[in-house]
């Protein structure tokens, strides 16, 4: 990582000192013994995440972006506590003074921090491989467990969330390539016809994608980063997983097969309604369209990156697969009713 890229990450938390100094303060607060090293996690658009190694072990540190309000942070902590008290495969937060978060004041700056147990593995963005059928089945099970959590947290606005597509598109339409403007205009009209009140709502992760799904050394999957989870139509989680974790960029047929596997497996735990199945294709297209919209906007306003280009490519291919007139038939959705 070059100096300028590092500065971009540091801006997220207005870091005005060497990260090692913050880590040493964390070690004292959490009683983690001696500081050994830091390793910045360079994927993700929001917070400042890194691995902290101490003489006691290795941990994942999240320092919240300064753009987040105190209310945003508190809302996130509510979610973390709910997930931590469940059987969901998610890293557990490390407690400090009986709480899941630390507010650290250092040299005139304030940092809101969470630390999680370290998962010895890699996420699917790092692996650069398609998940196996067993992993997709486990994702369906974990998603059903997330959706069944009895929690209705305060709403957190996420500019990548499907539910916010119309607002985001209205703001950023001029930044996308002309080939998508007419298509996304039609998609907005299609989305406006969806009766959101008819869709069963639940606690949804909202961002179960390759950067947030880890495979550990024992081949167990873990779902991380509940920062944008909300109480929303549960079909959103399935659409988001389908647009990325189920995508085989080299094969429409494999993609449709993976999506059917995800939906049919989820259906074993939480019965999907006819209206959810009827509207799935719209949400699948929205999920892919959002990747195209946001990455093209970022490329023109902030500059491109490897991760940004990855999501753009995912969106372009996934959206092309979603335009099939017989999408529902090709996926096999009628068999789930």
Q: Which of 333, 207, 195, 329 is nearest to 266 (CA)?
A: 333
What does the pLDDT average to over 245-260?
97
CA–CA separation, 14 vs 86, rounded Å?
A: 34
Q: Residue 326 above 90 pLDDT? A: no
> 74-130, pLDDT tens digit by residue?
988 999 999 999 999 999 999 999 999 999 999 999 999 999 999 999 999 999 999
191 contacts 282 by C-beta, under 8 angstroms: yes
Q: What are phi and psi of 62, to 5 degrees?
A: -115, 120
> 275-304, pLDDT tens digit by residue?
999 999 999 999 999 999 999 999 999 999
Block residue for tokens 């540190």: 61
Per the prediction, the chain carries an average pLDDT of 94
Residue 81 CA: distances (Å) to CA of 75, 78, 100, 114: 10, 5, 8, 11
Share of the chain above pLDDT 70, in %: 98
Q: Residue 1 above 60 pLDDT? A: no
Give the model's pLDDT for residue 4.
40
Give the model's pLDDT for residue 312.
97
Q: Where are the alpha helices (DSSP H) in the chain?
A: 3-13, 19-30, 70-84, 124-127, 133-147, 165-172, 178-192, 235-244, 252-269, 274-301, 306-322, 327-331
59 contacts 91 by C-beta, under 8 angstroms: no
> 21-80, pLDDT tens digit by residue?
999 999 999 999 999 999 999 877 788 999 999 999 999 999 999 988 888 889 889 999
Read out DSSP for 91-150? PPBPPBTTBS-EEEEETTEEEEEEEEEPPSEEEHHHHTSPPPHHHHHHHHHHHHHHHTS-
What is the side-by-side strand order in the sheet with 48-54?
35-40, 48-54, 57-63, 109-117, 102-106
Residue-range domains of the chain with CATH = 3-118 (3.30.200.20), 122-336 (3.90.1200.10)
> 176-213, pLDDT tens digit by residue?
999 999 999 999 999 999 999 999 999 999 999 999 99
CA–CA separation, 235 vs 232, rounded Å?
A: 9
Q: Residue 2 above 70 pLDDT? A: no
Give the pair of three-digit tokens for residue 5. 């890229």
């Amino acid at each position: 990582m070059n100096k300028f890229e590092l500065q971009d990450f540091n801006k997220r938390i207005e870091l005005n000192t060497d990260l090692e100094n913050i880590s040493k303060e964390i070690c004292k607060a959490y009683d983690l013994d001696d500081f050994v090293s830091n390793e910045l996690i360079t994927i993700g658009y929001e917070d400042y995440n890194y691995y902290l190694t101490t003489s006691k072990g290795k941990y994942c540190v999240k320092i919240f972006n300064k753009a987040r309000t105190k209310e945003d942070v508190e809302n996130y902590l509510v979610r973390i506590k709910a997930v931590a008290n469940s059987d969901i495969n998610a890293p557990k937060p490390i407690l400090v003074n009986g709480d899941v978060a630390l507010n650290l004041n250092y040299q005139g700056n304030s940092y809101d921090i969470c630390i999680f147990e370290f998962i010895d593995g890699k996420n699917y963005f790092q692996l650069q491989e398609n998940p196996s059928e067993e992993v997709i089945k486990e994702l369906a099970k974990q998603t059903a467990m997330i959706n069944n959590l009895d929690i209705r947290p305060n709403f957190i606005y996420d500019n990548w969330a499907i539910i916010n597509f119309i607002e985001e598109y209205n703001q950023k339409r001029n930044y996308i390539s002309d080939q998508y403007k007419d298509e996304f205009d039609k998609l907005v009209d299609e989305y406006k016809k969806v009766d959101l009140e008819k869709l069963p709502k639940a606690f949804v992760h909202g961002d179960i994608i390759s950067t947030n799904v880890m495979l550990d050394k024992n081949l167990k999957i873990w779902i991380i980063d509940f920062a944008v989870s909300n109480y929303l139509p549960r079909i959103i989680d399935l659409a988001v997983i389908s647009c990325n974790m189920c995508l085989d960029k080299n094969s429409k047929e494999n993609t449709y097969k993976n999506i059917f596997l995800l939906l049919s497996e989820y259906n074993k735990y939480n019965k999907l309604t006819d209206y959810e199945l009827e509207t799935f294709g719209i949400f699948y297209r929205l999920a892919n369209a959002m990747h195209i919209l946001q990455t093209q906007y970022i490329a023109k306003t902030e500059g491109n990156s490897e991760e940004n280009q990855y999501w753009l490519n995912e969106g372009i291919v996934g959206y092309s697969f979603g335009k099939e007139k017989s999408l529902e038939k090709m996926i096999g959705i009628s068999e789930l009713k």
